[in-house]
A = this chain, B = another copy of it.
């Protein structure tokens, strides 16, 4: 069977299960049923292998987000659903969740870098959607990069961080209403 694929899958499993730091190349080799040296004929080093895995995860995530979009639905609604999907992915997807945890608990620098990469990708994706909506005159022209960043950070704030300082969880409807009445409302033509 394809050795490279085998290695990628093994790495995906191991990173998802144990995170970046706690995954050893020996382990990946063992799971993939290859010699350790073999890994290095396909991937320069651990970090590059990791990068490859994370890029795959990003594709997966964007695909899942894209599925949330309902063509003739107003931007507001699609935006909310996409953002919620992404944040749900962030909490539910084994690898993403593990990396967020590792970044918070161990502060592995490589993980930090890669998570920044993931966020950048998400923000770009949202910015693109905003630009499309602007072209369709669904939204007023705006600094789409900044607005995308704002939306993403704000959603993270409410979905992930709010509960850290407040005891009652926020309902999805309350979050949706908030954004409908503030940022998204402000963007309407």
Classify the secondary structure of A's interface with B: helix
Contact A182 B149 (CB under 8 A): no
CB of A55, distance to nearest CB on chain B (Å): 18
Interface 1/0 per residue, A164-189 and B, CB below 8 Å:
11000010001001100111111100
Total copies of the chain: 2
Residues of B within 8 A of A161 (CB): 153
Q: A186 touches which one: B120, B149, B154, B182 (CB < 8 A)?
A: B182
A52 at interface by CB-CB < 8 Å: no
Chain A: residues with Cβ within 8 Å of the partner, total of: 29
A40 within 8 A of B: no
Contact stretch, chosen from A1-9, A84-92, A140-148: A140-148
Those of A128-169 within 8 Å (CB) of chain B:
140, 142-143, 146-147, 149-150, 153-154, 157-158, 161-162, 164-165
